[in-house]
Structure 1
Amino acid sequence: MAENRAPEYTEGTPCWVDAQLPDVEAGKRFYGGLFGWTFQEQPGRRRGTVRALKDGEPVASLARKTDGRLPTVWTVSFATPDAEALCGRVRAAGGQVVSAPLPLGDLGVAALVTDSEGAVFGLWQSAGHPGFGRRHAPGGFAWVQLYTRDTAAANAFYGDLFHDALFGPDADPDFGRAPVSDVFPAEMPPHFLVHFAVEDPAAALEEVTRLGGRVQVPPFETSYGTAAVVTDDQGASFALLRR
């Protein structure tokens, strides 16, 4: 799919991804080697957080974990014009607020929540930073899949929360739901899996291994393309996708 730029994102559209890592410098080496990302310090964020760029356009951020007990993980954030109001709707639908809305300088407002089954995701209320400057092109965000134990409940939760983004006339969701057991062991907790676009999955998997990561799930066919699940050299899982 061609590169897609958007100055703003409809509420419920995946608009940003970030990785919480023990070692940001190691993350820069890994993802710079894998995707050709470059990096810049991120004003308004805590020290040690960097923005990743692909061909000069923002695609992700890497942040140092402040607590070793936290997971090493990629998190997707969904756009919203009002993070406080959306947190209220998340609670009303049976989810929880992990981190209340927090202004990040002049970039916007961030919050962290869970759905009714405990899958964690972020909310992003844009100010100076709307989100991805590049997506769907190699090295950029391509898709996010929620692996859940109850797809009917997930469809109801997100269908109510993000109806226009998922089902509206201009819907371009980049967001699917599937049973955990389709790809992972049944005991795996519900979670979001961030997918990055690649042109050649086999070559990308070789590069993941060369850089110290590992292949978690070999390539498999989905309704949205050929995917493979990998982990980086610090244990954060993500997927590679050719659409």
Structure 2
Amino acid sequence: MDAQLPDVEAGKRFYGELFGWAYEDAYGTSVWARKDGEPVAALAHKTDGRMPTVWTVHFSTPDVRALLRRVEQAGGQAVRAPLRDGDLGVAALAADPEGAVFGLWQPGTYPGFGTRGTPGTFAWVQLYARDTAAANAFYGALFHEALFGAGAEPEFGRAAVADVFPAEMPPHFLVHFRVGDCAAATGTVQRLGGRVQAGPFDASYGTVAVVSDNQGASFALLER
């Protein structure tokens, strides 16, 4: 997953203090975030001011182009065509039929998360949709084995937008980072100039708070 930010240096300070991340130069002004030496995310400079400041989750696939065709055949659309990032891998952006944007990643030498599910790392992604039955059909067909196959560890959920947000909120993915104390972490977010949008509240997968950083990128904190 990565965050597209107007100011990467400010992002480094915010997430470094919140999650204890260290950083390594990646490409251009982008950086990889590391927790205990393992890659957990990337922070990238947002080059187009018209684009939103967001966190984007990328789903791994052995063939980006083939999966993008399946997205389009199922009623979704390509947002950004596949782009090779040296020998690291191939990335693309897609949107589901309701417009929720997600990434696709065909690994090369960079497989993705080095660690997850521990404090300061990825723990869950929640899709907020308007038509949850349609979302079940769309993503179930695309990612059935990855999401529901034998031995798969649940890391993906979906809910109705109105369960947490105003009904007019567009459908979207919300990445969750694991924390030891959700209430304390929301206090840190506010001290660093971020904002609490909702919660903490109890969800089926833990205690959640929806927050945004000091540049407006939304994410969630998850205690479980």
Note whether the superposition's TM-score is higher than 0.5.
yes
Of the candidates 216, 219, 224, which is equivalent to residue 238 of structure 1?
Answer: 219
What pairs up with 1:18-167 in 2 under 5 angstroms? 18-42=2-26, 45=27, 47-167=28-148
Residue 172 of structure 1 deviates from its aligned partner by: 1.9
Asked which structure has the greater RCO (Cα within 8 Å, sep 6+), the reply is 1
Write the distance in 1 (CA, Å) between the matches of 2:147 and 2:107.
20
Alpha-carbon deviations, 1:202-236, whole Å to 9, x = none? Answer: 11111101100011102011111000000000000
Equivalent residue number for residue 213 of structure 1: 194
Aligned residues: 224
* Separation in 1, partners of 2:128, 2:186: 22
Alpha-carbon separation, structure 2, partners of 1:225 and 1:103 = 37
Aligned sequence identity (%): 72
Quote how far apart the aligned CAs of 1:25 are: 0.3
Segments of structure 1 that go 5 or more residues without pairing to the other structure are: 1-16
Say yes or no: does 1:199 pair with 2:180: yes
Q: Secondary structure at the match of 1:162?
A: helix
Gaps of 5+ in 2: none
Distance apart, 1:145 and its partner CA:
0.1
Contact 1:165–1:172 (8 Å) recurs in 2 = no
TM-score (norm 2): 0.99
Secondary structure of the corresponding residue to residue 71 of structure 2: helix
Give distance in 2, aligned partners of 1:62 and 1:73: 10
> For residues 131 and 97 of structure 2, what CA distance do their matches in structure 1 show?
10
4+ residue segments displaced more than 3 Å: none
Task: Tell me the distance in 2 between the aligned counterparts of 1:234 and 1:212.
Answer: 9
User: SS of the residue aligned with 1:176?
Assistant: strand
- How far is the alpha carbon of 1:165 from its aligned partner? 1.3
Aligned to 1:174: 155
Residues 113-139 of structure 1: per-residue CA shift (max 9 Å, x gap)? 001111000000001011000100000
Task: Output the CA distance in 2 between the equivalents of 1:234 and 1:95.
Answer: 29
Deviations 1:65-97 (A, max 9, x none): 010000000000001000000000000000000
Q: CA deviation at 1:173?
A: 3.6
Give TM-score scaled by structure 1 length. 0.91
Q: 1:170, CA displacement in angstroms? A: 2.3
